[in-house]
């Protein structure tokens, strides 16, 4: 049964949200919550710190005036497109005036403001994202999005090719939502339109593509989706990576950096350039792969010592890539869990206190003690380690 209202949605019951809605005539329906926060509340899958979006019949200037009069801070973050960001205490809401596209050209569109809620819904991407919620929790679902959502169908609004022509990034969003909300089942018409457009997406900024791909790589299940995208030329996968990704998912893995490492460990620099990924994320992917390599050799202590939490992901990656039997994975996990991993309790100052000068000899001495420390299972005392050098 498709519900006709939201029940018990924390964000909607929040006093700050109700204050914002009251300031913008939410009681009469002139302002309503919209999009992801409504969608995911409806199926009980709210993310922590999820964005709260609202649509309104009020013009942007009126939104800012109403907010100021109610003690709500307003920022004209996208006022030329009808968007104002409101903040009350720790709650932030993005409010956009109802729009209807006049001229579209890829990502850029000329819009007209209005009061037609159906027209506003029709300019969105998928039916499951065209869901609105009144201040009292009642749903407004002009395009049947709730039924598609509950049935796990990711369906373009209207003509799929036209929606993609308006914004090519919707190809990537189709695959992401099909993975996150469609059980990796793909609407026939939507998939056909994406295939047709796959070779015409070079104009999309790398940052926007990268943002979509990172959200995709952090989902619980995405291997089947990535395999299909690989066949369409939307992503490059290393040989054998799909089966490894499926095994990684079966282990409960859903770490974006780990999946990056598994997509092609020798291709991380190119992915960083293609998707404008952060250096920190690429470094984490390298660490996970290095930890996995150590674990393949049986160097559990070194993996834990060098890479900490990334070694846990490295263990899952190694098990998935090598197709380890469950007993082998469980044994290594127990070994890692028992290790009292701690930093090396001696340093250069301890060696200098005993008369050793900084230089190659000190570096070699620290390396000897570090190896002894790790191979002892992090159990040797400071004095015992120094005895390795000064005996």
Arithmetic mean of pLDDT, 14-24: 97
pLDDT value at residue 48: 77
Arithmetic mean of pLDDT, 327-348: 91
pLDDT value at residue 101: 64
Arithmetic mean of pLDDT, 83-96: 96
Task: Quickly state the pLDDT bin for 223 (edges 50, 70, 90).
Answer: very high
Task: Quickly state the pLDDT bin for 110 (edges 50, 70, 90).
Answer: low
pLDDT value at residue 50: 86
Given a cut of 80, whether residue 294 has pLDDT beyond it is: yes
pLDDT tens per residue, range 20-33: 999 999 999 999 99
pLDDT tens per residue, range 30-61: 999 999 999 999 999 887 788 999 999 999 99
Task: Quickly state the pLDDT bin for 111 (edges 50, 70, 90).
Answer: low
Given a cut of 70, whether residue 134 has pLDDT beyond it is: yes
For the chain, what is the mean pLDDT? Answer: 93
Given a cut of 90, whether residue 276 has pLDDT beyond it is: yes
pLDDT value at residue 161: 96
Least confident interval from 22-36, 76-90, 104-118, 356-370: 104-118
pLDDT value at residue 104: 56
pLDDT value at residue 12: 95
Structural domain boundaries in the chain = 1-151, 236-338, 348-387
Given a cut of 90, whether residue 264 has pLDDT beyond it is: no
Least confident interval from 3-12, 67-76, 287-296: 3-12
pLDDT tens per residue, range 166-205: 999 999 999 999 999 999 999 999 999 999 999 999 999 9
Task: Quickly state the pLDDT bin for 8 (edges 50, 70, 90).
Answer: confident
Given a cut of 80, whether residue 107 has pLDDT beyond it is: no
> What homologous superfamily does CATH list for 1-151?
Beta Polymerase, domain 2 (3.30.460.10)
106 vs 92 pLDDT, higher one: 92
pLDDT value at residue 106: 52
Please return the burial class of 216, using the count of CB atoms within 10 Å of its CB with bins 0-12, 13-18 and 19+: buried
């Amino acid at each position: 049964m498709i519900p006709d209202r939201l029940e018990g949605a924390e964000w909607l019951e929040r006093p700050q949200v109700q204050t914002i809605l009251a300031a913008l005539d939410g009681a009469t329906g002139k302002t309503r919550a919209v999009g992801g926060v409504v969608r995911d509340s409806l199926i009980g899958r709210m993310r922590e710190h999820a964005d709260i979006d609202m649509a309104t019949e009020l013009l942007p200037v009126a939104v800012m005036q109403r907010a100021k009069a109610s003690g709500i801070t307003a920022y004209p973050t996208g006022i030329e497109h009808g968007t104002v960001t409101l903040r009350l205490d720790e709650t932030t809401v993005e409010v956009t005036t109802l729009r209807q596209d006049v001229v579209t050209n890829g990502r850029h569109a000329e819009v007209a403001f209005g009061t037609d809620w159906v027209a506003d819904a029709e300019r969105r991407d998928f039916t499951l994202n065209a869901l609105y919620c009144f201040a009292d929790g009642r749903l407004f679902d002009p395009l049947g999005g709730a039924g598609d959502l509950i049935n796990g169908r990711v369906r373009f609004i209207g003509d799929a090719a036209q929606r993609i022509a308006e914004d090519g990034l919707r190809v990537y969003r189709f695959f992401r939502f099909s993975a996150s909300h469609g059980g990796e089942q793909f609407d026939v018409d939507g998939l056909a339109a994406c295939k047709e457009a796959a070779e015409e997406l070079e104009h999309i900024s790398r940052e926007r593509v990268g943002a979509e791909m990172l959200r995709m790589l952090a989902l619980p299940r995405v291997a089947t989706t990535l395999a299909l995208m690989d066949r369409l030329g939307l992503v490059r996968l290393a040989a054998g990576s799909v089966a490894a990704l499926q095994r990684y998912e079966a282990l409960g893995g859903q770490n974006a950096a780990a999946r990056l490492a598994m997509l092609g460990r020798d291709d991380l620099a190119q992915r960083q350039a293609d998707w404008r990924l952060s250096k920190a994320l690429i470094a984490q992917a390298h660490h996970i792969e290095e930890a996995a390599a150590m674990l393949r050799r049986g160097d559990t202590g070194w993996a834990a010592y060098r890479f900490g939490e990334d070694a846990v992901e490295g263990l899952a990656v190694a098990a998935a890539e090598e197709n380890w039997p469950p007993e082998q994975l469980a044994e290594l996990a127990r070994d890692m869990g028992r290790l009292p991993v701690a930093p090396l309790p001696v340093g250069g100052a301890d060696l200098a206190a005993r008369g050793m000068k900084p230089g190659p000899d000190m570096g070699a001495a620290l390396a000897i003690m570090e190896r002894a420390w790790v191979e002892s299972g992090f159990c040797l005392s400071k004095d015992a380690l120094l005895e390795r050098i000064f005996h």
